[in-house]
Structure 1
Amino acid sequence: MPNDYYIDIFRKLVKAYNEGTLKEKYEELIEKAEDENAKKYIFAAMGLDYIKNASFEDIKKAMDMKKMKGKIVVKVGDCGIRCIDKDGFTSCQKACPFGAVDVLLEKNISEINDKCIDCGNCIAACDRGNLIDKIEFLPIVQYLESKEDVYAIIAPAYIGQFGENVTVGKLRKALKAIGFKDMIEVALFADILTLKEAVEFHKHVNKQKDFMITSCCCPMWVAMIKKLYSELVVHVAPSVSPMVACGRTIKKLHKNSKVVFIGPCVAKKAEAKENDLNDAVDFVLTFKELQEIFDILGINPENFCEDEGEHASRAGRIYAYTGGVSKAVYDTVNKLFPDRSIKVKAVQGNGVKECKDMLQKILDEKLEANFLEGMGCVGGCVGGPKSILSKDEGRKNVQEYGNQTDMITPIDNPCVYAVLKEIGINDIYELVDEDKAQIFERRF
């Protein structure tokens, strides 16, 4: 079944939720489902693993969860490996960076194995809709309808995704209309992590052969290093992603709150569930999913008035495209440490293939760089599989947004210092103190 069938189910369920008829719609869809595979689409659209013979009461209990459970990427039905090429590889197998798809010729099927990290590359590669990712909106509804405060945090790639005239203030108002307490730009925490990465660079790169691998841009990049190039882990900066930093900070400042990340990436759904990071973000929505929700609920962000203004410097805003993290760290290191003899010499991997080539060059001692940035999607986050715009249009919008502020680096951003002070960090050098900056730390 094609992917639009899956999205159509999601639309029907959200519309029914909005009209107060979710129970009736669920029972109708289940009754009309042709087989067990068709039912799996219904459950995934509700953010759930398939439960055979489930009543609506079972569904309500299953949706009342604190975190997303189970695998994010769901295989529905057997495709018959019709896309297999002359070398014996299927589209999903070629798309997977981690060797997580096995082709079983004797059974005429492909299977996902335990190497899968839920990055979602296979979903975009499958044109038959046999691979889908769970949509977490209906579990989120349980919190939006409760008295708990639920914060939306939005990825830097958002600019222009919901309309060319949709500012951060208008989008914040639109999300509040859905029921969120507030919306925070993750770019502000990209600013904070840029400061941290700059100080880490100054601390660790002091000889010509020293180098540092950034950990705060892409979950696929980090997973690739951990799983396929583990000998390089010692060179990875001990920073969490801006998403995790933002979620943890909100929960530190607002006890018992919930956090929902919104971005262009399926892999972020998996990152939010990682054992050492799952204290930060409760659920994840993609840009495409949020646009569907806006459409179904009759919400047009362009029609809202402005809310509060922007809080990020250019450095944090440009994290959304390949090279943005490198540029942010380069500018910040130069401003913090103008007399350094060893300057930032950055190189980027733009997409999985380039990332692998770059990491292999390090092992072969053929790479002349001291700061490495990798983006699993070509173009960076703006090229994510759940972006609404093309990667070129997304990059253009983000660049323009970055140029609209006079704050070039996080050093120039008073909001950065205000947030750090609130969580007990009074000096930027405390960002490399394991005790003081634990909220922003990750040990691989």
Structure 2
Amino acid sequence: MQTFKELYESTVKAALDNKENLVPQDELSYDPTHLDCLLNPKKHPIVFRTGTCNCSKEESEECLNRCPFDALTMGPDGVEIDPELCLGCENCIKGCASEKLTATTDIIPALKAIKSSKSLVYAMIAPAFLGQFSSEVTPGKLRNALKKVGFDGMLEVALFADILTLKEALEFDKNINGINDFQLTSCCCPMWIGMIRKVYNQLLPHVPGSVSPMVACARVVKALHPDAMTVFIGPCLAKKAEAREKDLAGDVNFVLTFQETKNIFDALGIDPATMEESEKDHSSKAGRIYARKGGVSEAVENTVMAINPNKKTKIRTKHADGVPACRKMIQDITNGKIEANFYEGMGCVGGCVGGPRSILGTEQGTELVNEYGEKATYQHPAENPYVIELLHRLGMDTIESLLEEADFFSRTI
């Protein structure tokens, strides 16, 4: 009987070799449930168990306590995951003593869809992509590498982080005027917003209902090209969970991690570092630094000062990274310890560059993100002509239209 990992590797190879039948011929060589998880991941939880747990009582208790969102319970065959509570932090997978917990993967259905699609297919690359596929891989080289896989184009999600930065800056300028007013940023990390929605929902009135830059990118693509397919590529398992949420489902067709994308490059013999250059510079510094801790706060702060330098209530930011630090910051707020009027939370230590499916280390990733931010032609979205052009193409005549026509970039919190 093949292990889940062995079945995954053989099935991915068959998909990359363009074989029509991905199902192994020997029905006794694999677990049918495992195969269904690979071929139809959306039918299964983001995290699932691949066999019966054989852990001791002490190990089982440690496993249950490892989840910060209480998504784990103990069933007759071992750990069970509640998909309604699981946010994809991967703490359970990393600490599983018997290695029976694993994460869903979109790689096989995504590859099949890319190769068979008769419409445009866009890769949407997260702002944390710098250095993930080697230090020599520029945005332009990565764009051409993804085209070799079968994508029609690559979009930097940082441009759409620009749009959300501008929206949150406008909301801060409009709503935060008193000494006790504060805003919790919502547009970046699904673990942060999920924590507020599911654990600290009394704070929801302080959260603007913005979609994430990933979802904003997908919605813009489909507004301009209704039949297009969108594939997000990033460092985070939680983005797979976000793409499945009921009010967002259908915006992003597939989510691949950096590691999954590297596996595709390796299997196809594609070296992004050797690709021709195809540089396009659309995002500002603000959108690019979303990938590291404090980046959202810095981006919104600079944009607020740009759109209303005379605002009497000055923005005071505070941020936390990692689930424990985020929880402490939220707990301080609920206890009345208000130290800022703009709060940012990132579920991973270091921000997105510290995501569990990053290839690069957090420290080096942060350095590269900062370098890329400094190279930006524009400092903030209010001066970025590509943001203004996109808004015009969506029928929004002014930046203030982001609030007047808020539904497009908003969600049901």
| Same structural fold, with TM-score higher than 0.5 when normalized by the shorter chain | yes
* 1:226 matches 2:185: no
| One-letter identity of the residue aligned with 1:117 | C
Q: Mean alpha-carbon deviation: is it higher for 157-166 or for 138-147?
A: 138-147
* 1:183 matches 2:176: no
Q: Aligned equivalents of 1:47 and 1:304: distance in 2?
A: 33
Q: 1:14 is matched with which residue: 12, 15, 18?
A: 12
| Per-residue deviation, residues 291-311 of structure 1 (Å, max 9, x unmatched) | 011100111111110124121
Aligned to 1:403: 374
Aligned to 1:111: 80
* 1:43 matches 2:36: yes
| One-letter identity of the residue aligned with 2:108 | L
CA shift, 1:141, in A, is 2.8
| Per-residue deviation, residues 317-346 of structure 1 (Å, max 9, x unmatched) | 000111000000011111111111211111
| Per-residue deviation, residues 89-138 of structure 1 (Å, max 9, x unmatched) | 323x233221011246xx58322235433414222332543111221122
Q: Aligned equivalents of 1:70 and 1:110: distance in 2?
A: 15
| One-letter identity of the residue aligned with 1:133 | A
CA shift, 1:30, in A, is 4.4
Aligned to 1:203: 174
5+ residue gaps, structure 1: 49-67
Q: 2:73 is matched with which residue: 102, 123, 126?
A: 102
Please give the TM-score of this superposition, normalised by the length of structure 2. 0.94
Q: Is the 8 A contact 2:235 2:357 kept in 1?
A: yes
| One-letter identity of the residue aligned with 2:93 | I
| Aligned residue pairs, count | 411
Q: Aligned equivalents of 1:269 and 1:245: distance in 2?
A: 15
Q: Indicate how the Cα distance of structure 1 residues 116 and 320 shifts in structure 2: closer, same or farther if over 3 A, else same.
A: same
Aligned to 2:411: 442
Aligned to 1:237: 208
Q: Is the 8 A contact 2:348 2:354 kept in 1?
A: yes
Q: Indicate how the Cα distance of structure 1 residues 128 and 415 shifts in structure 2: closer, same or farther if over 3 A, else same.
A: farther
Q: Aligned equivalents of 1:240 and 1:154: distance in 2?
A: 16
Q: Aligned equivalents of 1:308 and 1:352: distance in 2?
A: 36
| Per-residue deviation, residues 353-380 of structure 1 (Å, max 9, x unmatched) | 1111111111110121111111111111
CA shift, 1:243, in A, is 0.4
Aligned to 2:99: 129
* 1:394 matches 2:394: no
Q: What secondary structure is seen at the aligned counterpart in 2 of 1:316?
A: helix
| One-letter identity of the residue aligned with 1:16 | A
Aligned to 2:61: 89
Q: How many percent of aligned residue pairs carry the same amino acid?
A: 45
Q: Aligned equivalents of 1:381 and 1:374: distance in 2?
A: 11
Q: Is the 8 A contact 1:14 1:296 kept in 2?
A: no
* 1:309 matches 2:309: no
* 1:143 matches 2:141: no
Q: Aligned equivalents of 1:312 and 1:82: distance in 2?
A: 51
| One-letter identity of the residue aligned with 1:19 | D
* 1:287 matches 2:247: no
Q: Indicate how the Cα distance of structure 1 residues 29 and 200 shifts in structure 2: closer, same or farther if over 3 A, else same.
A: farther
Q: What secondary structure is seen at the aligned counterpart in 1 of 2:301?
A: helix
* 1:248 matches 2:212: no
Runs of 4+ in 1 over 6 A off after TM superposition: none
Q: What secondary structure is seen at the aligned counterpart in 1 of 2:358?
A: coil
Q: Is the 8 A contact 1:99 1:115 kept in 2?
A: no
* 1:32 matches 2:29: yes
CA shift, 1:14, in A, is 2.4
Q: Indicate how the Cα distance of structure 1 residues 292 and 22 shifts in structure 2: closer, same or farther if over 3 A, else same.
A: farther
| One-letter identity of the residue aligned with 2:37 | A
Aligned to 2:135: 164
Q: Is the 8 A contact 1:168 1:310 kept in 2?
A: no
Q: Aligned equivalents of 2:57 and 2:217: distance in 1?
A: 41
* 1:350 matches 2:321: yes
Aligned to 1:263: 234
CA shift, 1:83, in A, is 8.3
Q: What secondary structure is seen at the aligned counterpart in 1 of 2:58?
A: coil
Q: Aligned equivalents of 1:83 and 1:220: distance in 2?
A: 29
CA shift, 1:279, in A, is 3.3
Aligned to 2:355: 384
Please give the TM-score of this superposition, normalised by the length of structure 1. 0.88
Q: Is the 8 A contact 1:81 1:90 kept in 2?
A: no
- Trace 1:75-86 onto structure 2 (pairs within 5 A): 75-82=49-56, 84=58
Q: Aligned equivalents of 1:245 and 1:129: distance in 2?
A: 36
Q: What secondary structure is seen at the aligned counterpart in 2 of 1:84?
A: helix
Q: Indicate how the Cα distance of structure 1 residues 110 and 310 shifts in structure 2: closer, same or farther if over 3 A, else same.
A: same
Q: What secondary structure is seen at the aligned counterpart in 2 of 1:407?
A: coil
Q: Is the 8 A contact 1:143 1:150 kept in 2?
A: no
Q: Indicate how the Cα distance of structure 1 residues 303 and 47 shifts in structure 2: closer, same or farther if over 3 A, else same.
A: farther
Q: Indicate how the Cα distance of structure 1 residues 155 and 127 shifts in structure 2: closer, same or farther if over 3 A, else same.
A: farther
5+ residue gaps, structure 2: none
Q: Indicate how the Cα distance of structure 1 residues 272 and 114 shifts in structure 2: closer, same or farther if over 3 A, else same.
A: closer
| One-letter identity of the residue aligned with 1:182 | G
Q: Aligned equivalents of 1:353 and 1:237: distance in 2?
A: 23
Q: What secondary structure is seen at the aligned counterpart in 2 of 1:139?
A: helix
Q: Mean alpha-carbon deviation: is it higher for 327-336 or for 115-124?
A: 115-124
Q: Aligned equivalents of 2:267 and 2:361: distance in 1?
A: 23
Q: Aligned equivalents of 1:225 and 1:28: distance in 2?
A: 47
